[in-house]
Amino acid sequence: MNRRVALVICFGFGVVMFAQYFSQHPLARGVNQAVLEYWQIIFAFALLLGVVSFFQNNVRQIRHGSDRPYRIVSLIGLLAMPVVAVIGRIGAGSPFLWIFENVQAPMQSTVFALLAFFVASASFRGFRARSVPAAILLGAAILILLSRSAIGGPLSGWLPDAADWIRHQPSMAARRAILIGIGLGSLTTSLRVIVGIERTWLGGGK
């Protein structure tokens, strides 16, 4: 019964939102605006669900003794930041902003910076000219790398042009084809969700 109600709501909203896209009438725009506002409200509650789940899960795991140091640090972060925000506010010069700019932002940048190291090791390990197509791909990659650096232009006048041609012709053709396929996949999946054929979002089952 609950699943049937959810499916009916999904179908109703799907049809209404599809129809309002083609209308400029104030009623249609009003419906659109209202749904968007409710969507944002629901998102806030979903975040609350995540926080509660995170807290409960980590407390359980700490009791079991698995990965205790990491989980304790996680919980300290989760609990301390709201307290700091409430006490010291979140404006310029506040402790909250200081922690964000001097702890969180550098930590995130550090993890992002790992990409550079991993690209280097992945290139050494994986970029092999095992076949003719792989060798062509390798050549193209080297051209693009050189063109995006400062020495590309001074090295040879045709290098930036060749790199641009690769980006705008064969690479873009392949990318567009993949995008069309993905777009069609998204279209069919979305339609299946709206009409109730696809029910995974309800938690599986038929």
Partner 1 sequence: MNRVVSRHWIFLGLFVLVALAMGSGIRLDTPVSDRTAELYDFIESLPEGSVLLVSFDHEASSLPEIRPIGQALLRHAFRKNHRLIGMALLAEGTAIGYRLMQQAAAEYGKEYGKDYAYLGFKPQYIAAILSMGESIPATFPKDYLGRPYESLKALDGVATYADVAGVLSIADGSLTTHWMEYGRARYGVRVVSGVTAAMVTTYDPYLASGQMYAMMGGLRGAAEYEDLIARPGGGKRGMLAQTATHLYVIVLIGLGNLSYFLARRKKETS
Partner 2 sequence: MSGSLLLVIAATDPAWFDVDKLPVLIAAIVSIIVIFYATYHRSRRGKFQVREIAGLKAVEDAIGRCTEMARPLLFTPGWGGDIQRPTTIASMNILAHVAEKTARYDCRLVYPTHDPVIMTVAQEVTREAYAQTGCADRYRQDDISYVTSSQFGYAAAVDGLISRLKPASVFLLGTFEAESLILAETGNNVGAIQIAGTDSTIQLSFFIVACDYTLIGEELFAASGYLSGDDSILASVRAQDMLKVLIGLLLVVAVVWNTICELTGATEQSWWSF
Q: Which residues of the shown chain bind partner 1 in the complex (CB under 8 A)?
A: 21, 29, 32-33, 36-37, 39-40, 43-44, 91-92, 97, 100-101, 104-105, 108-109, 111-113, 116-117, 119-121, 123-125, 127-130, 138, 141-142, 145-146, 148-151, 153, 160, 167-168, 171-172, 175-176, 179
Contact by Cβ (8 Å): 199, 205: yes
The total number of residues written for the chain in this structure: 206
Looking up tokens 């693009």 gives 144
- Scan for tokens 């509660």, then name that residue: 52
- Taking the C-alpha atoms of residue 16 and residue 21, their distance in angstroms, rounded to an integer, is 9
Q: Does 111 bind partner 2 (CB under 8 A)?
A: yes
Q: Which is nearer to partner 1, 51 or 72 (CB)?
A: 51
CA distance 70 to 78: 12
Looking at the chain, list the stretches that DSSP marks H as alpha helix, in order from N- to C-terminal side: 2-20, 26-64, 68-88, 95-99, 105-126, 132-148, 152-155, 158-168, 170-195
The binder of partner 2 chosen from 2, 4, 5, 22 (CB under 8 A)? 22
Please give the structure tokens belonging to residue 182: 């993905």
**Using the rule CB under 8 A, which residue among 118, 142, 164, 165 binds partner 2?**
118
Q: Is 8 in the site for partner 2 (CB under 8 A)?
A: no
Q: Which is nearer to partner 1, 53 or 104 (CB)?
A: 104
Provide the minimum distance between the beta carbon of 68 and partner 1 in the complex, in angstroms, as a whole number. 27
Task: Give the relative orientation of helices 158-168 and 132-148 as an angle to the nearest 10 degrees.
Answer: 120
Binding residues (CB under 8 A) for partner 2: these are 18, 21-26, 28, 46-47, 49-51, 53-54, 57, 60-61, 67, 70, 104, 107-108, 111-112, 114-115, 118-119, 121-123, 126-127, 175, 178-182, 184-193, 197-198, 200-205
